[in-house]
Structure 1
Amino acid sequence: MTNNNQQHTIAQHWAMQFTSTPRCIRLVRTLVDKSLLRWGYGREDIDRMVLVCSELATNAVRHGHRRGHRFEVRLSDEGATCLVEVSDALSRRLPRLMETSDEDEHGRFQLVSALAKEMGHRARNPIGKTVWARLALVTPEEETRA
């Protein structure tokens, strides 16, 4: 049996590749939700991370689609934070923040930036890029990881 302190130090990771189609975004949300729930995250944290994964995956499908290639979503539990990474296989053209209104359905990196403690991107070898966001957990640990 593992106590809370030991469980906290065990790194948890989850990754999956998806077909680069809009239909897969729903599957991303469902699987991320289930993984974080299994890890013991609180509902508020899960909802924020699912939203961030959905936005980054949607961007990968819209702007990183390459026929015959998949995009990948990765989660890494880092204790007080969770790292979300979405990689595509298009090019190394980096994402950019765009001015948007509440009615826009694209250019939502401002939303991700507002929810994340930090975010960034890096080139992916041999092709593509990874966009990442690190989210601080807001639900008290003793409630979620009991």
Structure 2
Amino acid sequence: MRFSSTAASVALVRHQVEKTLSKWDYVLDDIDRVVLVSSELATNAVQHGHVPGHPFQVTLTSTHDACLIEVSDASPHTPVARRATTEEEHGRGLPLVSALAARVGHHTRKPTGKTVWAHIPRTSNAPAPTP
């Protein structure tokens, strides 16, 4: 799924991820976790990965035991988790993603940019969706 690099697109990401996972028969707890992680990664793509004229992309891959979320943008800058103070309103996204995911990482994307990904285990071992 491709989205324009605007704040309004984050709500569209949440909606599309929820809709997709519902079609794939995910249970509500798993949908909520994947939607939250997708929202955090999409927000980071808009706030920190924005390159004018370049959309960002969200890819979901499902297996019987997990969902892989990949958010790609055109910025070459790698994500950096910060320690937010109690007074700060921002800076908790990547620690939250790390807390909800089994694994988190990023890699360079060709010809430009990066992909940030999170591997979220399913609480219910439903069959993987058929393409």
TM over 0.5: yes
Please say if residues 124 and 130 of structure 1, whose CA atoms lie closer than 8 Å, have aligned partners that are also in contact: yes
> Where do residues 1-146 of structure 1 align in structure 2 (5 Å cutoff)?
16-91=1-76, 93-101=77-85, 104-139=89-124, 141=126
RMSD: 1.6
Structure 2 residue runs without a partner (length 5+): none
Cα displacement string for residues 94-143 of structure 1 (whole angstroms, at most 9, x for unaligned residues): 1111102465333410000000000100000011000000000113538x
Provide, for residues 11-32 of structure 1, a one-character-per-residue CA deviation record: whole Å limited to 9, x for no partner.
xxxxx00000000000000010
8 Å Cα contact 2:81-2:91 kept in structure 1: no
Larger radius of gyration: 1
Rounded to whole Å, the distance in 1 between the matches of 2:19 and 2:37 is 15
Task: State the alpha-carbon separation in 1 of the partners of residues 119 and 125 from structure 2.
Answer: 17
**Residue deviations 1:45-83 (CA, integer Å, cap 9, x gap):** 000000000000000000110111000000000210110
Percent of residue pairs identical: 47
Summarize the Cα distance change of 1:34–1:101 in structure 2 as closer, same or farther, 3 Å threshold.
farther
Q: Where do 5+ consecutive residues of structure 1 fail to align?
A: 1-15
Separation of aligned partners in 1, 2:55 and 2:126: 34
Q: Is the 8 A contact 2:14 2:39 kept in 1?
A: yes
- The whole-number CA distance in structure 1 between the counterparts of 2:73 and 2:125 is 33
Q: Tell me, yes or no, if the aligned pair for 1:100 and 1:108 is still in contact at 8 Å.
A: no
Letter in 2 for 1:35: T
**In structure 2, what is the Cα distance between the partners aligned to 1:56 and 1:100?**
17
- Matched pairs, number: 127
Q: Contact 2:2–2:55 at 8 Å: present in 1 too?
A: yes
Consecutive aligned runs of 4 or more in structure 1 exceeding 6 Å deviation:
none
TM-score by length of 1: 0.82
